Structure 1
Amino acid sequence: MQIKFLLPIVLSALFSLPAMAADYYVEITNKTGYIINYMHVSPGNKKSWEDDVLGNDVMVNGETQRVTLKGYSSPIFDIRLTDEDGDTYTFWDVNVHEYDLVVSEDDLD
């Protein structure tokens, strides 16, 4: 008899849990012909850019950089790269679970 009363409570508790955080990664290849000085990756629903993931490093032409994204509830991210001339390459709503990026001059903002 107690199971009949507990089952709805347990089920409602399970369905009310927040979305579980997951780890993702995206591989970004620089085919711009320029050095990339800054790379910002932010959740797709965020209104501002997160910190530069390159830090003190740069990404030379032809290089591929893997960016690990930990603790996010969605695989959708916005990605912006800035090259040595200050030109930007912006990608909106990238599903990093399905796609990696190859960035070329054709992607210039």
Structure 2
Amino acid sequence: MFSFNYLSLAAAALLVPSVSHAEDLVFSFENQTSYAIVELYASPSTTAEWEEDILGRDILEAGEAARVTIADGRRACEYDLRVVFEDGDVIEDTTDLCETESYTITE
């Protein structure tokens, strides 16, 4: 079980490279709840399935923030986010990551 005050994460490990050069989407992801986040997914809204878990084996504890980089080569801005907490609760939301410098989960 790993815990960091500020993580640097990338979500491009198993994605097919693109010939176009889209900019990486970078934002601060803040956990302002009382529970640790054990899984975090971000997938373009046009995709029917979730991409790989961004946190991997890491955990984002309550009150912590992580710098997230999505370097998937896509030109999409609208992403679906799926957050799984240590108690099994799940939150899903859609946001424009091109316009977002930070995203905060609150209770």
Give TM-score, length-normalised by structure 1: 0.73
Q: Percent identity?
A: 32
Higher helix share: 1
Is the deviation greater in 79-88 or in 95-104? 95-104
Q: Is 1:59 aligned to residue 63 of structure 2?
A: no
- Equivalent residue number for residue 9 of structure 1: none
CA distance in structure 2 between the aligned counterparts of 1:26 and 1:77, rounded to whole angstroms: 12
Tell me the TM-score normalized by structure 2: 0.74
Partner of 2:82: 80
> After the TM superposition, which residues 4-83 of structure 1 pair with which residues of structure 2 at under 5 Å, given as runs?
20-70=21-71, 71-83=73-85
What is the Cα deviation at residue 26 of structure 1?
2.2
Structure 2 residue matching 1:22: 3-state secondary structure: coil
Give structure 1 regions of 4+ aligned residues with deviation exceeding 3 angstroms. Answer: none
Once residues 19 and 74 of structure 1 are traced to their aligned partners in structure 2, the CA distance between those partners, rounded to angstroms, is: 12
Distance in 2, matches of 1:84 and 1:20, equals 36
Count residues in correspondence. Answer: 87
- Relative to its length, the structure with more strand (as a share) is 2
For each residue in 1:77-96, what CA deviation from the matched residue of structure 2 results, as whole angstroms up to 9, or x when unmatched?
A: 1111100011011111x111
Structure 1's unaligned 5+ residue stretches are 1-17
Greater RCO (Cα-Cα under 8 Å, separation 6 or more): 2
Per the alignment, residue 96 of structure 1 pairs with: 97
Aligned-residue Cα RMSD (Å) equals: 1.5
Aligned-residue offset at 1:20:
4.8
